[in-house]
Every structure is written in C-alpha cells, then in structure tokens.
Amino acid sequence: MSLIAVMLLNLLAVLAVMGVAWLVHLWRGKVSVVDGFWGPGFAVVAWLTYLLTGGTLERGILLVALVSLWAVRLAAHVTRRNWGKPEDPRYADMRADRPEVFWIRSLVTVFGLQAVLVWILALPLQLGIAASAPPELTWLDLLGLLLWSFGFYWEAVGDEQLYRFKADPVNKGRILDTGLWRYTRHPNYFGETVMWWAIFVVACQVPGGAWTVISPLLLTFLLLKVSGVTLTEKKMGERHSELAAYKQRVSPFFPRPPKERKR
C-alpha cells in the first residue's frame, strides 16, 4: 500500500475517533471530553500505519511504543483531571455564542479541527513508521529516544505535581512554584514540545522525513502562542494576583534556575 493511501486512511481513522468523541460529548454535554481523545488519536495513527505498512521493524516498534505510552498516560491524566469538573471555560465561551446550533457546529470547529491537527502533527510518525530505510536503528534513533524520555519526564512529573497541588484545599488561590514548576512556568508544555521534536529527530533520517519538521514547528507555535502558554496564563491572570511576581521569578518556558524573590 502506498504512503499516500496509508495517510488518507489515517485521516479517516482519526476523523472517526473524533466522531466518537463528538457523540460522547452529546451524551455527556461537555465538549471538553475531546481532550481525553487527543492522545489516543495519535496512537491510532501510529498503530494503523504500522499494521498497514510493517515499516522498518525496529523503528516502527520504537515509535509505536513511545506514542502509545504517551497517549495512555495523557488520556488517563486528562480524564482524572476533568472528572466531575464543569465545562472548560474556553469551550463554555464557544457554546455561549449561538448555543442552539453549537451541538452541530462543534463537530467541525472543535472535533473536526482537532482531528486534522492530530493528522498533521502525526506526519513524522507516519513517515518514520512507514519507511523501509535506514534498515537498522541509528544514532538518531537513540538520540530521539533520549530526548523523548527527557521530555516525557518533564510532562508526566509536571502534570502529577500540578494535579496533587490543586487537589490540596490548602493551595486554593495559590500558584505552584515548587518542584519542576520552579524552573519553568509550564514544564508540561515544555516536555510535550521536546517529545515531538524527538519524534522528528527519529523521522528526519527517513526518505522525505525532513519536511515533517512542520509538525514540531506547528506544535511549538500552538503551545507557545495559542492554546498552551498564552491561554493558560491569561486564565491564571484572572484568578491570581501574585502572577506578575511569579513571572518575574520563573522562566516562561525553557527551564532555568529561578530568580531570587524580591524582599
């Protein structure tokens, strides 16, 4: 099967995944269920690509394993975080604009859009798994694995630290500035970015893999300027009076030692 055919089937598959998410949203009445389907969408693309092409055995297994581990952890974390919580404000604001038609409009503006984003961001996965060359693992595969592990640590540990911090009523109204959160205001987004650059490092060595750099570039842009850092800090600014001082002490994205508190 040609790579183009595989990619088209992957697009249909991820559209189907988000279609199921849309049906769940109609049942639960919460658009934010889409967040729990984000990671599994990538896993579906990875597994389908591997099953349809076989790819280079070792590299295909490596990429499928890494993405599956990331997807399971992320889905479990998001489901636990959102369970019993009201609708995410960003989706609530979208629903407030013509609520009578949002149930159908969301199929395109939320679920369909995220399906297309998953497919685009998964381009390094699709090429890396499907390629038959290089025939054996290389130093770039090892470098990608090391970078991915580094990023996974920052995302997984950062998420867990924030979850436990918010779960403690004593911390209501406070900003987490300990653990990994003392080195960057967004260790989870930093880790996610590193992981997808790591996937690209693995994929860049296969024929045509270099052009998939659009995937980590797009993800980095989205996390820094659209749905990640910018949106999160806007929401924080509405709730936390100490945000300005926190921003002065802690790096916005790339980890570094925090500055001393001003006395």
The last residue of one of the domains, among 92, 110, 137, is: 137
- Give the per-residue pLDDT at 263: 52
Q: Do both 51 and 163 map to the same domain? A: no
Whole-number Cα distances in Å, 181 to 14, 77, 136, 245:
33, 18, 39, 14
Binned at pLDDT 50, 70 and 90, residue 19 comes out as very high
pLDDT, mean of residues 143-150: 98
Instruction: Give the residue with greater pLDDT, 241 vs 3.
Output: 3
Range of the domain at 75: 1-137
* 152-163 pLDDT per residue, tens: 999 999 999 999
Q: Is the pLDDT of residue 122 over 70?
A: yes
What's the chain's average pLDDT?
Answer: 91
- C-alpha closest to that of 54 among 114, 6, 110, 95: 6
Whole-number Cα distances in Å, 215 to 5, 88, 158, 210:
20, 26, 23, 10
The last residue of one of the domains, among 137, 170, 192, is: 137
The last residue of one of the domains, among 115, 137, 159, is: 137
- Give the per-residue pLDDT at 49: 96
Please answer whether residues 229 and 189 qualify as being in contact, where contact means their C-beta atoms are separated by less than 8 angstroms. yes
Q: Do both 133 and 45 map to the same domain? A: yes
pLDDT, mean of residues 18-26: 95
Q: Is the pLDDT of residue 199 over 60?
A: yes
Please answer whether residues 34 and 94 qualify as being in contact, where contact means their C-beta atoms are separated by less than 8 angstroms. no
Query: Using DSSP, how many helices (H) and how many strands (E) does the chain show?
Result: 12, 0
